[in-house]
A = this chain, B = another copy of it.
Amino acid sequence: MSLRSEFPVFERVSYLNAGSVGPAPRSAADAAIAEVRGQVDGGLVGVAQFERQLELAARLRERAAALLGADPGEVALTGATTDGVNAVIGGLELGPGDEVLTSDEEHPGLLAPLAAARERRGVSVRVVPFDEVAGAAGPATRLIACSHVSWHTGRVADTAGLAAAGPRVLLDGAQGLGAIAFDVRSLRCDFYAASGQKWLCGPIGSGYLYVGSDRIDELSPIAPGYGSLADPLKALELDLRAGAARFDAGFPPSHQAAWALASMDVLAAAGMDDVLRRGPALAARLAGDLAARGHTVAPRGDSTLVSWEAADPEAESKRLYGEGFVVRHLPGTPYVRASVGAWSSEEELERLVATSAS
């Protein structure tokens, strides 16, 4: 079975919006539904159901760690990329005199936590152009927080430059994990906040945060709970459990974890290396074809996002929807954006080029 045929959505439309929410495979629905039924029918009750939930969470942490190139003890299960960003920005000891450096192509899910750190803790926030971040760190810069892949343009951060800059580095990997090939050791970042529901085709409400083993004790959990503790009977002593699991956003419901795992299985069956090669390759081809047709394509990198200018991006994305394509406009920019995955077909991309107003 081809990768594409695993996803029911492609029987209806040319879905090119994984950068918002990924398509989900049929088997993920089946897995989630089985877990919903299991919980409601009471086949497992009480302790047994809780153990099932913990078992799926442990498997998910291992799988996410493998995808990141990290150890399971370095991965927290979150509900969204934004959760991971907040865990890092809110969890670091930052205050007046400390600066966080960021770029001008960031998502509100990274900017809002930075604004909160400024308003509440007196942290300085400095914004520079996306491709100047690595060189812009100064003596007060304690943290660089920026996208691995820009959600506006698909440009890829100069991660080697960021790693060499000196301050701690938090990458917003919403458009990175599951989209492009990397591992966190090679990136040499300290923190990597990723999404589960985009390129990994998991459910809304899933995400992963990498915290390097040397960095775990630099973060205080911003929302500790039962699951953060080594011994819940001594909660007031705040003896935190080992590893990044202390930063988990609660315990993922078993239907959420099962969905995420089933989607990872589908990608793994297609060959994760192939998935991570084919998506960016198809995106590069789409970008070239749009440019050849006279479109102004945003400067981009080796990623799965292709943004191009339109006179009225919102109207153009609506028009394309009417033609059977799900793309999106990016408010505040001149762009319409297509998210191209390994599941995309050459034929649909050719049709998109042919259909796009020039």
Q: Chain A interface (Cβ within 8 Å of chain B)?
A: 8-13, 15, 17, 20-21, 23-26, 28-29, 32-33, 36-37, 39-43, 45-46, 49-50, 53, 79-80, 82-83, 86-87, 90, 107-109, 111-116, 118-120, 125, 127, 203-205, 220-226, 228-229, 232-233, 235-238, 249-256, 259, 321, 326, 328, 331-332
* A38 CB, min distance to chain B CBs, angstroms: 10
Q: Give chain B residues whose Cβ lies under 8 Å from the Cβ of A21.
A: 49-50
Q: Give chain B residues whose Cβ lies under 8 Å from the Cβ of A13.
A: 42, 45
Q: Can you report 19 A-B residue pairs in the complex whose CB atoms are below 8 A from each other?
A: A15-B45, A20-B46, A20-B50, A24-B40, A29-B41, A33-B37, A39-B203, A45-B326, A46-B326, A46-B328, A82-B225, A82-B226, A83-B223, A86-B224, A109-B226, A112-B235, A119-B238, A203-B255, A233-B331
Q: A120 touching B220 by the CB < 8 A rule?
A: yes
Q: Give chain B residues whose Cβ lies under 8 Å from the Cβ of A228.
A: 112
| CB-CB under 8 A for A229 and B39, given A115-B237, A238-B116 | no
Most buried by B among A203, A229, A238: A238
| CB-CB under 8 A for A86 and B225, given A108-B235, A116-B220 | yes
Count copies of this chain in the complex.
Answer: 2
| CB-CB under 8 A for A113 and B224, given A9-B40, A42-B23, A250-B205 | yes
* A10 CB, min distance to chain B CBs, angstroms: 8
* A198 CB, min distance to chain B CBs, angstroms: 13
* A17 CB, min distance to chain B CBs, angstroms: 5
Main secondary structure of the interface of A (DSSP, over half): helix
A41 and B29 alpha carbons, distance in the complex (Å): 9
Q: Give chain B residues whose Cβ lies under 8 Å from the Cβ of A86.
A: 222-225
Known pairs A17-B46, A112-B224; list 7 more (Cβ under 8 Å): A12-B43, A36-B255, A36-B259, A82-B226, A86-B223, A87-B223, A108-B229
A43 and B43 alpha carbons, distance in the complex (Å): 31
Q: A220 touching B332 by the CB < 8 A rule?
A: no
Q: B41 touching A79 by the CB < 8 A rule?
A: no
Q: A45 touching B9 by the CB < 8 A rule?
A: yes
| CB-CB under 8 A for A9 and B224, given A233-B331, A251-B204 | no
Q: Give chain B residues whose Cβ lies under 8 Å from the Cβ of A108.
A: 225-226, 229, 232-233, 235
